[in-house]
Amino acid sequence: MVYLLNILMFVACFLLDTTKIVDIISIFGIMPQFVFVLLLCFCIYYSKEKSLVLAVIVGLVTDIVTASPIGAYAVLFLGASVLCSVTYENIIERSLPSALAVIFVISSILNIITYIFQIFMGKDFAFMYCLWRYILPTGVYNVIITPALYWLVGKVYYRNERIF
Amino acid sequence: MWNFINRNYWNVVIVTAVVLALICGISAFTRGELEDTPIMTGAVNVIATPVKNLFDNVGDAVGGFFGSMANAGKLTKENAQLKNRLKVLENENEHLKQFERENIRLRDMLGFKAAQGENKVVACEVVGRSFSSWNTTFILNKGTNDGIDVGNIVMNNNGLVGNITMAGNNWAQVTTLLDKDSSVSAVITRSGAVGIVEGDINESDDNMCLLNYTSKNADINSGDTVESSGLGMVFPKGLIIGKVQDIKEIKGQVNKRITVKLSADIYNLKEVMVLI
């Protein structure tokens, strides 16, 4: 049941990310990254081993669904998951404010790496333009959707603890 | 398994990252050589498209509901006006139908063949957007089952939208003219000056592209209509692309920076037509 709930959450986030629903909530073309934020929330609650495996699976599915080079999102999500898990295991305590800060920082790093990846793929984007136009606004938007997803993952996590 | 990963966490991370990076590198470098849609992407989209369709309908309904709530009073008034207007238009429509029938009869008599007579047109709905802000692609709800194939031209009643870059049984991906990877050989209708319309990230937010590779003394003015020239053999000749929005001289460069406002409003497309 817990697994099913987690899978359902990811499926819902995939659909939110890739269907026209996101148009309703996109602001000036900036779209929140539901799947990525959900993954980071998962990393905050669950062990680093489970987060690692999940990050690779979710990354590969994202690559397939979005027709990106296979492994691109997988390796990015893997890095994000490791960073998030290690931060929560060794540096800070689990709380909503810390989650907001960590998700802002990690999503900004992810988008900067995506920018570099785009440059390697032969695209010609001005860094400062992308930073102010996409990278930082996307980070802020991710922070806005974080409380809801953090709460959802927490609900499922504590339900899991009661069962086992 | 969890114990093994726990004991060798960093080794697992490094090995997985290296393997994924290698796969990614190979995948990225071979993408240009693939003519067909990757099998996995095709399979996933075949299953995902009907679900996306459902979510899109929900999205439209949710958006429509909140829009209606916000403008209820205004909409009631507008509704009454529109009903009156509808009656007038129905009368006009009847007249136009008569003219159309007459037109068809006369064309047949003259042996006239409509310009699009050779092409079959498939009407499609836009059911999905690109995953990130970096690309401007979208997914259609029809695919190879309806005769759509990679390379087909996509347009709406206003003008050219892009072309099909991937297709499955019941879905197809459109790369729009706004995408950085998009380019169309174009011609200015008034003067015949030629150039290439290319997507540019700095302009795409405003539904605009750049007209590059024009000659130094090309006769181009703001407001000129830009259409496809057919030179690239990808887009047929004579499809409306947009209008010249702005022309700027750039110091130290031979070519001017010419922006073109696209006729098709790419960000608000709901239905498009695919020429097959």
This prediction has a pTM of 0.60
pLDDT at residue B34 in the model? 47
pLDDT, tens digit, 9 for 90 and up, residues B116-160: 556 688 888 888 776 566 667 888 888 888 899 888 999 887 889
**Which tops the pLDDT comparison, B61 or B75?**
B75
Residues of A within 8 A of B48 (CB-CB) are 18, 65
Phi, psi of B176 (to 5 degrees): -80, 170
For residue B196, give every residue at least 6 positions away whose Cβ sits within 8 Å of its Cβ, in sequence order, or none: B183, B184, B185, B186, B211, B212, B213
Tokens found for residue B167: 């297709």
ipTM field: 0.75
CA atoms of B41 and A122, how far apart (whole Å):
22
Question: How many Å lie between the alpha carbon of B207 and the closest alpha carbon of chain A?
Answer: 12
CA atoms of B138 and B269, how far apart (whole Å):
10
Is the model's pLDDT at A25 over the cut of 70?
Answer: yes
CA nearest B132: which of A42, A152, A121? A121
Residues of A within 8 A of B129 (CB-CB) are 18-20, 22-23, 31
Dihedral sign (CA B94, B96, B99, B105): negative
pLDDT at residue B121 in the model? 82
pLDDT at residue A163 in the model? 46
CA atoms of A161 and A77, how far apart (whole Å):
26
Do A72 and B58 count as a contact with CB atoms less than 8 A apart?
Answer: no
pLDDT, tens digit, 9 for 90 and up, residues B210-253: 998 888 788 888 899 999 988 877 788 888 899 999 888 877 77
Do A72 and B28 count as a contact with CB atoms less than 8 A apart?
Answer: yes
pLDDT at residue B113 in the model? 40
Contacts by A98-103 with C-beta closer than 8 Å and gap 24+? A99/A40, A99/A41, A99/A44, A99/A146, A99/A150, A100/A143, A100/A146, A100/A147, A102/A40, A102/A44, A103/A37, A103/A40, A103/A41, A103/A142, A103/A143, A103/A146
Tokens found for residue B186: 């174009």
Dihedral sign (CA A88, A92, A97, A102): negative
Extents of the domains making up chain A: 38-154
pLDDT, tens digit, 9 for 90 and up, residues B243-262: 999 888 877 777 788 999 99
pLDDT, tens digit, 9 for 90 and up, residues A51-103: 889 999 998 888 877 777 788 888 889 999 999 988 888 888 888 888 899 99
Give the mean model confidence (pLDDT) for residues B67-94: 79
Do A24 and B62 count as a contact with CB atoms less than 8 A apart?
Answer: yes
Separation of CA A117 from chain center: 17
Is the model's pLDDT at B183 over the cut of 90?
Answer: no
